[in-house]
């Protein structure tokens, strides 16, 4: 049952991610990206990481993508952009990326091959408490570094948005 | 002949059917109370403004809701030719369904409630975050100035108010030690209701909750004096109706959530003195919800609309620091008390 949900969510994720690339309408492409993030969140749920799944929705689909859509909405892109996008999506443009990502896919399969296990998914559930203990235990340094980085970003944003008068 | 059917109806299957039936009953009650919120709002506003309000159809004008529903269902649902059709239709569905979905998380009585996951509160944040898309897509896809400006305003406002909405509820999470809404209510049955120990969290949450539903004084996205009707200017018929009902479903949902998070959910007041009060948990939940729903209307009757920049700076300069300090003090207190 959980495996079925996993494969459905994975298929939706793949399809919507392809649509992000192929779609010529910027806002529709972004909506497909939201869908892709939601299905990745669903994959996290099926793998037994509901906390990570919820955060994926809150942070990526609910906050970062909102800002993306917000900016694209304000650009007021019309039929002209759609036509331009369509003319850029030619067959010859597909060859390079396809070959390169095929190489990466083969590499990934080769790496995963020896790790093959038949353990069923979704048997252990990592809840918020375990994530918190891990973050403030072994990964404390990473948390501190990330918070410093965020503080730097905050200061920079404040500087850029400052009004001189 | 009946045996195969009886064999199928194992206790597990029967339990699942009963749970699904409960969920449907809760959903119908939610929609019905949201619809009657419209009547309640018009009557209460009239009362506070020395008028009668709708009192012609049925007893106390209760039939007004039915008449309005019939009207809106049979209105022409016109899609303007200049809109982005798919997103235009999608937006009202998002608005209404997400608010209904969030209600599934609310524990109503000790054995009623749709779904109580361990990450309940995070799921609520996720739903509230996704609900922005309704207003945003509605505003953008309408392809008209008023709608776009309303959509932009509301997106900026909602993002600002969501930031501290999450932080303001963390005090409750720290004290109860769980994201599970049912366990938060159970914790309040044993201890004080969170409105007292988390008073500042409650104040900030009230503002954020009103902002989630886009109600006065946070209804700038649809300020009729400057933006026509804001993001739903181009909507008509049932698509407008879905935005409209979604707003009232949101009010019921936020009231239910406030009840569960800060006022002990189904827990009866003074139950240690009068244990008999504990026998009607649903009544307590309903009374508390009703009080919050009415205060939404009182807010609309009492307060004017603030200026947009005042509202934004209030969010970032007062509410956010207040909720951060509240979270820190709560965390410090819990650690100190734990030692």
pLDDT tens readout for residues B286-327: 988 999 989 988 888 888 888 888 888 888 888 899 999 999
In the predicted structure, residue B220 carries a pLDDT above the cut 70: no
Taking an 8 Å cut-off on Cβ atoms, the answer to whether A128 and B122 are in contact is: yes
Q: Which residue of A has its CA nearest to B166?
A: A58
Q: Among candidates B245, B248, B221, B218, which has minimal Cα distance to B232?
A: B221
Which residues of A fall within a CB distance of 8 Å from B125? 54, 58, 62
Q: Among candidates B277, B266, B122, B103, which has minimal Cα distance to B188?
A: B266
Predicted interface score ipTM higher than 0.85: no
Map out the domains of chain A as residue ranges: 2-122, 127-165
Average model confidence (pLDDT) across chain A:
85
Q: Read out DSSP for B23-41?
A: HHHHHHHHHHHHHHHHHHH
Share of chain B above pLDDT 90, in %: 8
pLDDT tens-place string over residues A22-54: 888 888 888 899 999 999 999 988 888 888 888
Mutate which of A51, A70, A147 to test chain B, going by most B C-beta atoms within 10 A?
A70
**Residue B9 and residue B76: Cα distance in Å, rounded?**
46
In the predicted structure, residue B201 carries a pLDDT above the cut 70: yes
Which residues of B fall within a CB distance of 8 Å from A30? none
Q: pLDDT at position B2, please?
A: 67
Share of chain B above pLDDT 70, in %: 96
In the predicted structure, residue B228 carries a pLDDT above the cut 70: no
In the predicted structure, residue B129 carries a pLDDT above the cut 90: no
Q: Among candidates B331, B319, B291, B303, which has minimal Cα distance to B203?
A: B319
Range B158-176 burial, b when 16+ CB lie within 10 A, else e: bbbbbbbbbbbbbbbbbbb
pLDDT tens-place string over residues B72-83: 888 887 778 877
Span B40-63, average pLDDT: 85
Q: Which of A19-28, A79-88, B155-164, B218-227 has the lowest mean pLDDT?
A: B218-227
Q: pLDDT at position B222, please?
A: 65
* Smallest Cα distance from A107 to chain B, Å: 35
Q: Are A28 and A20 a contacting pair, CB within 8 Å?
A: no
Question: Within 13 Å of residue B303, how many CA atoms lie on the same side as its CB?
Answer: 16
Helices (H) and strands (E) in chain B, counts: 13, 0
Which residues of A fall within a CB distance of 8 Å from B84? 27
The DSSP output letter for A125 is: -
| Residue A111, helix vs strand vs coil | helix
Residues of chain A with pLDDT under 50: none
Whether residue A108 is preceded by a cis peptide bond, meaning omega within 30 degrees of 0, is no
Span B52-68, average pLDDT: 83
Which residues of B fall within a CB distance of 8 Å from A54? 119, 122-123, 125-126
Of the partner residues B87, B122, B132, the one whose CB lies closest to the CB of residue A54: B122
pLDDT tens-place string over residues B257-291: 999 888 888 888 877 777 777 778 888 889 889 99
In the predicted structure, residue B86 carries a pLDDT above the cut 80: yes
Which region holds residue B53: left if phi is over 0, alpha if psi is between -120 and 50, else beta?
A: left
The DSSP output letter for A131 is: H
Q: pLDDT at position A12, please?
A: 93
* Smallest Cα distance from A96 to chain B, Å: 33
Q: Token pair 């749709």 is at which residue?
A: B114
Say which CATH topology domain A2-122 has: 1.20.120
Q: pLDDT at position A102, please?
A: 93
Q: Which residue of A has its CA nearest to B83?
A: A78
Q: pLDDT at position A140, please?
A: 92
Q: Token pair 């200061």 is at which residue?
A: A155
At residue B267, what are phi and psi to the nearest 5 degrees? -65, 135
Average model confidence (pLDDT) across chain B:
84
> CA torsion B317→B319→B320→B321, rounded to 10°?
70
**Residue A63 and residue B208: Cα distance in Å, rounded?**
16
List the end-to-end C-alpha distance of chain B, in Å, as a whole number: 66
pTM value is 0.86
């Amino acid at each position: 049952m959980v495996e079925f949900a996993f494969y459905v969510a994975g298929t939706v994720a793949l399809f919507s991610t392809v649509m992000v690339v192929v779609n010529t309408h910027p806002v529709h492409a972004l909506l497909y990206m939201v869908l892709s993030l939601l299905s990745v969140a669903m994959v996290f749920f099926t793998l037994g990481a509901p906390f990570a799944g919820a955060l994926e929705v809150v942070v990526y689909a609910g906050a970062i993508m909102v800002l993306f859509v917000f900016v694209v909405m304000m650009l007021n892109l019309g039929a002209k952009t759609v036509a331009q996008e369509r003319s850029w999506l030619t067959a010859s443009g597909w060859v390079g990326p396809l070959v390169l990502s095929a190489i990466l896919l083969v590499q990934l399969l080769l790496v995963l091959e020896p790790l093959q296990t038949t353990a069923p998914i979704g048997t252990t559930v990592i809840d918020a408490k375990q994530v918190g203990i891990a973050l403030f235990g072994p990964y404390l340094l990473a948390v501190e570094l990330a918070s410093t980085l965020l503080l730097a970003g905050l200061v920079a944003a404040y500087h850029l948005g400052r009004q001189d008068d | 002949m009946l045996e195969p059917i009886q064999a199928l109806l194992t206790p597990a299957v029967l339990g699942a059917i009963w749970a699904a039936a409960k969920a449907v009953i809760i959903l119908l009650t939610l929609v019905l109370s949201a619809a009657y919120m419209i009547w309640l709002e018009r009557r209460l506003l009239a009362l506070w403004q020395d008028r009668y309000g709708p009192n012609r159809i049925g007893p106390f004008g209760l039939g007004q809701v039915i008449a309005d529903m019939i009207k809106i269902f049979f209105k022409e649902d016109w899609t303007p030719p200049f809109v982005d059709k798919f997103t235009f239709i999608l937006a009202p569905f998002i608005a209404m369904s997400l608010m209904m979905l969030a209600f599934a998380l609310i524990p109503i009585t000790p054995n009623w409630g749709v779904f109580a996951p361990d990450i309940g509160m995070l799921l609520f944040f996720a739903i509230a975050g996704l609900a922005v898309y309704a207003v945003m897509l509605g505003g953008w896809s309408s392809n008209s100035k008023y709608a776009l400006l309303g959509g932009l305003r509301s997106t900026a406002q909602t993002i600002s108010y969501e930031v501290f909405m999450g932080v303001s509820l963390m005090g409750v999470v720290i004290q109860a030690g769980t994201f599970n809404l049912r366990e938060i209510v159970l914790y309040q049955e044993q201890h004080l209701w969170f409105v007292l120990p988390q008073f500042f969290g409650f104040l900030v949450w009230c503002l954020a909750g009103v902002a989630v539903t886009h109600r006065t004084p946070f209804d700038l996205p649809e300020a009729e004096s400057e933006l026509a009707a804001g993001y739903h200017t181009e909507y008509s018929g049932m698509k407008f109706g879905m935005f409209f009902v979604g707003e009232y479903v949101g009010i019921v949902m936020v009231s239910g959530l406030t009840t569960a998070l800060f006022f002990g959910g189904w827990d009866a007041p003074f139950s240690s003195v009068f244990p008999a009060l504990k026998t009607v948990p649903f009544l307590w939940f309903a009374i508390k919800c009703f009080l919050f729903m009415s205060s939404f209307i009182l807010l609309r009757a009492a307060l004017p609309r603030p200026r947009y920049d005042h509202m934004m700076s209030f969010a970032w300069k007062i509410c956010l620091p207040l909720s951060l300090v509240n979270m820190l003090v709560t965390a410090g207190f819990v650690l100190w008390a734990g030692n």
